[in-house]
Structure 1
Amino acid sequence: MFKKLKSLDYKWIMYDVGNSAFILLTASVIPIYFNSLATSQGLSQDQYLSWWSYAMSFATICVAIFGPIIGTLSDFPGNKKKIFLLTALGGAGALFFLWLPSTWYSFLFVFVLIKVLYSISLVVYDSMLIDVCDEERMDDISSRGYAWGYLGSCVPFIISLAFILLQPKIGISMGTVMTIVFMINAIWWICFSLPLARHYKQKYSTKRTGAAVQQTFKRLGNTLKELVHQKKVMYFMIAFFFYIDGVYTIIDLATAYGTSLGLDQTGLLLALLLTQIVAFPSAIYFGILAKKKSTGSLIKVGIIAYFCIALFGLFLQYTWQFWVLAVSVGLFQGGIQALSRSYFAQIIPKNQSGEYFGLYDIAGKGASFLGTMIVGLVTQITGQQNIAVGTLAFLFLIGLFVFSKADKIENPVYN
């Protein structure tokens, strides 16, 4: 059932463990801290949720612009390791000093910077999967990456949560506690980035024939033109944009949404911890199922499940309902993320993996633009967060329809 992993497999998986600490922090502690900072400086609860949503959307726009360019640049020989180090360590370094901003808008500025660097590091990291393992093992390795990322991120999160909950008893200010929290998670991110950066070797690359920047834009332009003829890749990316948009919107805004409803903050944080714990075996199980069932059919199961989760969000009022939501998200979150990553890796040209994963990231982890904008705008217009979250169900319906079309097309063969 489980195949023995190679040394580089472990080191690749370790970065999922490292960067997931920031994601869990973004889904839990950071929006609560921002809520406290913003409301203390005059923002209402609706304004807080809207500005948080807009910040997420702005980060997405930045990634959409720079992700494909940097991803294409990383395909040149020897570039992936350099760019990975720069963005991963840059994001972790900025997180280390996130306690410095004293106003809500300066805090959002630094947070957006971290999110952009984090997302671009993932463009390169995801494309490294091509070099790390062959196609037969991609579903397994990708699933284990997400699984161990969920479990590993619980370690700095539990330490952070202990400091937050014990703060009144240990007699230090909340500002000092948040300084410690940001530093712990930043150091965790750095430590789990270095093994991959040290041992990774780029196997597939695109030969450099002239000025790097000029060739980068030319290649990117040619690829965008070719996508029209690469039907499976094009349809998958359109579908992925819609369904993963909804997935990441729910992840990014879960705690902000619950907090704006006035739900107990301790309960919210513990529920999100439960999500990580549930996601660990679930992600691994999806990797096992991929050996018996088609990857496409399992992705469809995940999309349908998230459609039901979005509908459930319409009725969210109490903490126990948030716990149900947390468990439901944990059951399907890892599977749909991991299998989407490996599915895409199997249908693109290997020597252009950075370039294609740059485009993938527009519709992927950074692409919560549409979802967060919908939540922000609908919340401002109606004043009802439940309705805003419920509208995400339409994203999953569109994603399911287009993905079903993509999955029927044969995998492309490249020279």
Structure 2
Amino acid sequence: MKTATDLPAHPAAATDDRALRRMQFGWYVNDWANAAFSATVLTVFLGPYLTSIAKNAADAAGDVHPLGLSIRAGSFFPYTVSFSVLISVGAMLLAGTVADRTGRHKELMCGFAYVGSIATMGMFFLDGDRYLLGGALLVVANIAYAVSVALSYAYLPGLASPDERDSVSSKGWAYGYAGGGLLLIANLALFEGHDGLGLSSGTAVRICLASAGLWWALFTVVPLLRLPSRAGAAPVRTDPAVTEPHTEPGATEPDRPAAGSLRELARTLRGMRRYPLTLLFLGAFLCYNDGIQTVVSQASLYGSEELGMDQTSLVAAVLLVQIVAIGGALLLGRIARRYGAKRTVLGSLVGWVITLALGYFMPAHQPAWFYALACMIGLVLGGSQALSRSLFSHLIPAGREAEYFSVYKVSDRGTSWMGPLVFGLAYQVTGSYRSAIISLLIFFVIGFAVLAKVPVRRAVEAVGNPVPDRL
């Protein structure tokens, strides 16, 4: 027989808790869904495959000529990634502004997800010398991916209390790596068995690319059903002190029509100057995460062209990254509970520098060493990104989540532009991918130095948010 102490003191609170867990699960599955594009398309298959298509279209000097420009075929993929992000910067900022003004975060997030998934499924038609089609589909898919993920980040402050955000953010990343890894297992099996299925290697790659779009579309149904339209509407925000959104001077109410969003976007960018410590953290993140994302997006190209890894080894290595990153994200989340997120992120950046240096000296045609490098990347990858996301969530004025996370997302998860540009230029000048990979050290060194100078506790207080026990 139940006693009074066995029953919830406040039935409404129990209902809110169930609703919150439902929303959190929907948010986790969103990471599960879009990780397929990041892992299968950007990280593994598209780089080497699109490069091979560009080489098929190259002239005798090894150059292709998109839009009348003459570039090396080997630089086409990183340049295209960089170009897509230059376009996505404005798209993310504008979408974030519209979302905060209209409260249609979910509709915009899922809408862009479906645009990206359709473009990704269209990659099935890449063959021969259609490198321009591949570049166009990559641009559309990468822009849609960036906008969708930026809008999903805006939900974090409403899905966890300040002291729980590191854990919730890390769990989201773990879901993402699990989903991306599961699809990679299926794609690896398909690629390995393509001869037995009567498929060419190119056809197998195209099926793998399209499968990522299909996966993305199918699992986006879960956040579409479980998340509220407006980010920050989760039951965790029942305290009157944090329920009312912070409104900056000159800002319009978030539920007004989207007309005039460009003016509101300009106000947002001007308003960010009121929080210089937030901008300082953002500058650090944009720098070191450019390095992270360039390593992720160019690793398969480096492995195939410089280290002589075949497609099977590349897929297996990225699968290792996905598996190890699940544990790495959860492990660094636990470490952050004891030492704080900032210290943990700084430690992970040291790990990135060591990993990059080892990658530079790695011998070619040695899969075992390449797998060891993949494990090192996985260990620091998930945690450094998950904790950066949760740290930034503390530095955003309430009610401006989508706009600020849109700025944050400029350099997040495979959409950085400075890193691929430096990587491509380094290869353009030297003709060596080793020189290209070691050139990325500058992003980690500068990012570490800037982050070390950020007084995170003061930054949280400056935007009027509650300060967690450990930062």
Range of TM-score over shorter length: over 0.9
Give the alignment of 1:197-276 within 5 angstroms: 197-201=224-228, 202=230, 203=232, 207-208=253-254, 212-214=258-260, 216-261=261-306, 262-276=308-322
What letter corresponds to residue 151 of structure 2 in structure 1? Answer: V
**Alignment partner of 2:96 out of 32, 57, 71:** 71
Deviation readout 1:261-301 (Å, 9 max, x if unpaired):
13233222211111111111110111122221211101101
TM-score w.r.t. structure 2 length?
A: 0.82
1:408 Cα deviation after fit: 5.1
| Higher CA-based Rg | 2
Change (3 A) 1:398 1:187: same
Name the aligned partner's letter for residue 58 of structure 1: F
Counterpart of 1:346? 394
- Which one-letter code corresponds to 1:76 in the other structure? R
User: Cα distance, 1:409 vs. partner?
Assistant: 5.3
| Distance (whole Å) between structure 2 residues aligned to residue 170 and residue 210 of structure 1 | 55
The aligned amino acid for 1:28 is V
Q: CA deviation at 1:73?
A: 0.8
Q: Larger helix proportion, structure 1 or 2?
A: 1
Separation of aligned partners in 1, 2:106 and 2:214: 20
Q: Indicate conservation of the 8 Å contact 1:63/1:366, yes or no.
A: no
After superposing the two structures, state which structure 1 stretch, 38-47 or 393-402, moved more: 38-47
Q: Which runs of 5+ in 2 are unaligned?
A: 1-16, 64-70, 234-244, 246-251, 466-471
Matched, 1:17 2:29: no
Does 1:284 find its partner at 2:330?
A: yes
Q: What's 1:8 paired with?
A: 23
**Which of 73, 76, 96 is matched with 1:48 structurally?**
73
Q: Is the 8 A contact 1:64 1:366 kept in 2?
A: no
TM-superposed CA distance for 1:156, in Å, is 1.6
Which residue number in structure 2 is paired with residue 33 of structure 1? 49
The answer to whether structure 1 residue 306 and structure 2 residue 331 are counterparts is no
Asked if the contact 1:49–1:260 (Cα under 8 Å) also holds between the matched residues in 2, the reply is no
Q: 1:87 corresponds to which residue?
A: 112
Work out which of the residue numbers 124, 148, 156 in structure 2 matches 1:129. Answer: 156
Structure 2 counterpart of 1:414: 464
Label 1:183 to 1:268 Cα distance change in 2 as closer, same or farther (>3 A). Answer: closer
Query: Of residues 341, 364, 373 in structure 2, which corresponds to 1:295?
Result: 341
AA of the residue aligned to 1:335: G
Following TM superposition, where does structure 1 have runs of at least 4 consecutive aligned residues deviating by more than 6 angstroms? none
Q: Aligned-pair distance for 1:252?
A: 0.3
Q: Secondary structure at the match of 2:170?
A: helix
Give runs of aligned pairs for residues 363-402 of structure 1, distance below 5 A: 363-365=411-413, 367-402=415-450
CA 1:49–1:135: 2 relative to 1, 3 Å: farther
Q: Tell me the distance in 2 between the aligned counterparts of 1:138 and 1:169.
A: 47
Query: What secondary structure sits across from 2:163 in the alignment?
Result: helix
Deviation (angstroms), 1:210: 5.9
Do 1:237 and 1:363's aligned partners in 2 also have CA atoms closer than 8 Å? Answer: no
What letter is aligned with 1:33?
Answer: Y
Q: 1:303, 1:179 → 2: CA distance? A: 35
Aligned equivalents of 2:201 and 2:415: distance in 1? 32
**Structure 1 unaligned blocks of 5 or more:** none
Q: Which gives a bigger RCO, structure 1 or 2 (Cα 8 Å, sep 6+)? A: 1
Whether the 8 Å contact between 1:60 and 1:366 is mirrored in structure 2 is: no
User: Identity of counterpart residues, as a percentage?
Assistant: 27
Amino acid at match of 1:160: N
1:133 is displaced (CA, Å) by: 2.4
DSSP 3-state at the match of 2:309: coil
* Deviation (angstroms), 1:179: 4.2
TM-fit CA distance, 1:163: 1.4
Rate the CA distance shift 1:317–1:213 in 2: closer, same or farther, 3 A: farther
- RMSD value, Cα: 2.2
Structure-1 separation of matches of 2:433 and 2:169: 34
**Mapped contact 1:246–1:392 kept (Cα < 8 A):** yes
Aligned length: 412
Q: How many Å separate the matches in 2 of 1:229 and 1:409? A: 16
Aligned to 1:146: 173
Matching residue's letter, 1:37: I
Matches of 1:17 and 1:90, distance apart in 2 = 17
Question: Structure 1 residues 365, 270: closer, same or farther in 2, change over 3 A?
Answer: closer
Task: State TM-score, norm by structure 1.
Answer: 0.93
1:324-335 correspondence to structure 2 within 5 Å: 324-335=372-383
One-letter amino acid matched to 1:269? V
Q: Cα deviations across residues 22-70 of structure 1 (Å, max 9, x unaligned)?
A: 1111211122322332233337499333111100100110111211111
Q: Distance in 2 between matches of 1:331 and 1:165?
A: 26
Provide, for residues 70-99 of structure 1, a one-character-per-residue CA deviation record: whole Å limited to 9, x for no partner.
Answer: 111111243101101210111111111211
Which among 157, 173, 178 is matched to residue 200 of structure 2?
173
Conserved 8 A contact 1:59-1:366: no
